[in-house]
């Protein structure tokens, strides 16, 4: 993956050329969606789309050979996008010296690659805000998820960190397709941002016969994105240890990081983050083959980066949290929950043992009952 400060020009223009769409994958995903959805999507004039510049930049972020110069050279083909990046880099949030940014390369160096990619996608996908605040919440969650996915990947599969960021950033794009095609239904469905994301998936199944992950994968395939990215979007909300297999260990770990990124972001954006994080930690403790992860370091790294990108895009900055305190509180809740469960299981085990003893002896259970009744009878004085 390209380094943020690497200004060396990469040889070979083939990195930035758009690839042909994987027709087999696109057809498979098309067939997996309800027919009425495909028909309505293809008729929708506002269905999200990405211009060739944005697609090239997305592919660049997946390449280990591409450099920051390649990204700058590609963006400069779009004057409007270039001007926006330079303007943002020169804004009060980023200017730390008297020297203003003059070129696209300088703007990217100041903003960073993650923020640059987020700005590019925001410019193309989120330039038409919807009526309600849920639209901004979805984008806020996507950005937080992307930053978390990168930091998780840095711990277990650092070479895939850039891919994890991109996939997590795009994991909820299916909601954009639904919002563009069925604005009234989607406004009703997503009106309460406090509803757990997992519950929204269930409601989407009830409303549309599928959820936004497969719609997002179909949309990504329609755009011609790489198959690895498409499949990661498709299974982004799957169990942390999915039965889906891949020949590449790095890809499997990257997909796991993306799956973890959403629930972790939900915890950070919740009014009760310790409860959400405790639930996540519990799920991980009961899931096999999950590598050891430091969520405290993830949250420490993500928080300032999220604040920077939020200011850049002029969206609400999430409430500040103390990662160490949050994790300690979540672990204490998890311990309390474990103790309660352990006590219940112990009581159930004792009750079951008594029942088995009662049934094992002939008339034993009835004798026990009779004995208890006799004990309750008032004793007569001699």
Per-residue pLDDT tens for 10-34? 333 333 333 456 889 999 999 999 9
Q: Has residue 345 been placed in a domain?
A: yes
Q: Over pLDDT 90: what percentage of the chain? A: 36
Question: Which whole number is the average pLDDT over 160-167?
Answer: 91
| Mean pLDDT comparison of 5-14, 46-55, 215-224, 309-318, highest-scoring range | 215-224
pLDDT surpassing 70 at residue 91: yes
- The yes-or-no verdict on residue 142 having pLDDT over 70 is yes
Tell me the mean pLDDT in the region 135-157: 92
pLDDT band per the 50, 70, 90 thresholds, residue 74: very high
- Specify if 201 maps to a domain: no
Q: How many CB atoms lie within 10 A of CB 201?
A: 14
| The last residue of a domain, from among 86, 112, 127 | 127
Q: Is residue 146 part of a domain?
A: no
Mean pLDDT, residues 326-333 taken together: 90
Q: Distances from the Cα of 190 to the Cαs of 49, 136, 217, 290, in angstroms?
A: 22, 11, 20, 31
Phi, then psi, of 51 in degrees rounded to 5: -70, 165
- Lowest mean pLDDT across 89-98, 123-132, 364-373: 364-373
**pLDDT at site 234:** 94
**Rounded distance between C-alpha atoms, residue 169 and residue 180, angstroms:** 19
Boundary-marking domain end, from 127, 152, 177: 127
Q: Assess contact for 78 and 53: CB atoms under 8 A.
A: yes
For residue 274, what are the contacts with CB-CB under 8 A and spacing of at least 6? 326, 329, 330, 333
| Model pLDDT, residue 49 | 86
Q: Which of 65, 100, 127 is the last residue of a domain?
A: 127
What is the reported pTM?
A: 0.80
Q: Which pLDDT score, from 0 to 100, does residue 382 have? A: 45
Residues 6+ apart with CB under 8 A from 251: 160, 228, 232
What would the mean pLDDT of 120-134 be, rounded to a whole number?
A: 68
Is the pLDDT assigned to residue 124 strictly greater than 50? yes
Residue 105: its H or E element: helix 104-111
Mean pLDDT of 85-101: 72
Give the pLDDT mean for 279-294: 86
Does the structure show a pLDDT above 70 at 302? yes
Confidence at residue 264, expressed as pLDDT on a 0 to 100 scale: 95
Question: What was the pLDDT predicted at 189?
Answer: 85
Higher pLDDT, 100 or 235: 235
pLDDT value at residue 365: 45
Helix or strand run (H / E) with residue 235: none
Q: Which residues make Cβ contacts (< 8 Å) with residue 50, sequence separation at least 6? A: 58, 121, 124, 125, 223
Domain membership flag for residue 289:
no
Give the mean pLDDT of 343-348: 63
Higher pLDDT, 72 or 89: 72
CA distance 334 to 328: 10
Residue 214 banded pLDDT, cuts 50, 70, 90: very high
Tell me the C-alpha distance between 321 and 299, whole Å. 9
Residue 77 placed within a domain = yes
Tally of domains in the chain = 2
Integer Cα distance of 38 and 35 in angstroms: 5
- Domain membership of residue 3 (yes or no) is no
Q: Please report, for residues 94, 106, 116, 299, the alpha-carbon distance to residue 316 in angstroms, rounded to integers and kept in the order given.
A: 17, 26, 18, 18
Domain that holds residue 364: 335-368
Residue with the larger pLDDT of the pair 10 and 191: 191
At residue 263, the pLDDT reads: 94
The reply to whether 83 falls in a domain is: yes
Categorize the per-residue pLDDT at 66 as very low, low, confident or very high, splitting at 50, 70 and 90.
confident
CA-CA distances (angstroms) from residue 35 to 39, 51, 158?
6, 26, 40
The rounded percent of the chain whose pLDDT value lies above 70 is 77
Q: Does residue 84 fall inside a structural domain? A: yes
CB distance 250 to 156 below 8 Å: no
Residue 126 in this model has a pLDDT that exceeds 80 = no
Q: What is the DSSP letter of 288?
A: T
Q: How confident is the model at residue 373 (pLDDT cuts 50, 70, 90)?
A: very low
Instruction: Convert 211-240 to b/e letters by CB count within 10 Å (16 or more is b).
Output: bbbbbbbbbbbbbbbbebbbbbbbbbbeeb
Nearest one of 161, 151, 162, 76 to 120, comparing CA atoms: 76
Q: How confident is the model at residue 112 (pLDDT cuts 50, 70, 90)?
A: confident
Burial class (CB within 10 angstroms; exposed 0-12, middle 13-18, buried 19+) of 200? buried
pLDDT of res. 97: 59
- In this prediction, residue 364 carries a pLDDT of 47
Question: Helices 35-43 and 173-181: crossing angle, nearest 10°?
Answer: 80
Mean pLDDT, residues 38-42: 94
pLDDT higher at 52 or 379: 52
Question: Looking at the predicted structure, is the pLDDT value of residue 368 above 60?
Answer: no
In whole angstroms, give the CA distance from residue 73 to residue 196: 41
């Amino acid at each position: 993956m390209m380094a943020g400060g690497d200004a060396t020009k990469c040889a070979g223009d083939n990195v930035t050329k758009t690839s042909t769409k994987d027709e087999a994958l696109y057809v498979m995903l098309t067939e997996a969606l309800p027919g009425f959805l495909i028909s309505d999507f293809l008729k929708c004039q506002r269905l999200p789309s990405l211009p060739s510049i944005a697609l090239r930049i997305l592919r660049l972020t997946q390449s280990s050979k591409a450099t920051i110069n390649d990204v700058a050279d590609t963006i400069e083909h779009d004057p409007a996008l270039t001007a926006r990046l330079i303007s943002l880099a020169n804004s009060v949030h980023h200017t730390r010296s008297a020297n203003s940014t003059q070129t696209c390369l300088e703007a990217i160096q100041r903003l960073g690659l993650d923020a640059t990619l987020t700005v590019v996608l925001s410019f193309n996908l989120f330039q038409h805000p919807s009526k309600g605040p849920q639209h901004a919440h979805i984008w806020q969650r996507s950005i937080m998820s992307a930053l978390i996915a990168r930091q998780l990947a840095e711990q277990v599969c650092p070479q895939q960190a850039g891919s994890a960021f991109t996939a997590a950033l795009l994991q909820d794009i299916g909601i954009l397709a639904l919002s563009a095609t069925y604005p009234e239904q989607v406004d009703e469905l997503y009106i309460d941002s406090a509803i757990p994301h997992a519950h929204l998936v269930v409601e989407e199944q009830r409303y549309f016969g599928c959820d936004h992950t497969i719609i997002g994968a179909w949309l990504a395939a329609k755009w011609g994105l790489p198959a690895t990215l498409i499949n990661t979007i498709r299974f982004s909300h799957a169990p942390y240890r999915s039965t889906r297999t891949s020949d590449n260990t790095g890809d499997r770990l990257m997909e796991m990081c993306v799956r973890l990124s959403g629930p972790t972001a939900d915890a950070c954006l919740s009014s009760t983050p310790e409860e959400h994080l405790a639930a996540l930690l519990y799920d991980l403790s009961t899931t096999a083959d999950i590598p050891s992860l430091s969520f405290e370091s993830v949250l420490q790294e993500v928080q300032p980066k999220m604040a920077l990108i939020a200011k850049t895009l002029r969206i609400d900055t999430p409430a500040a949290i103390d990662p160490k305190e949050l994790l300690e509180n979540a672990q204490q809740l998890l311990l309390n929950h474990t103790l309660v469960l352990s006590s219940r299981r112990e009581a159930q085990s004792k009750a079951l043992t008594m029942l088995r003893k009662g049934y094992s002896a002939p008339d034993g259970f009835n004798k026990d009952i009779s004995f208890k009744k006799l004990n309750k009878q008032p004793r007569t004085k001699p």
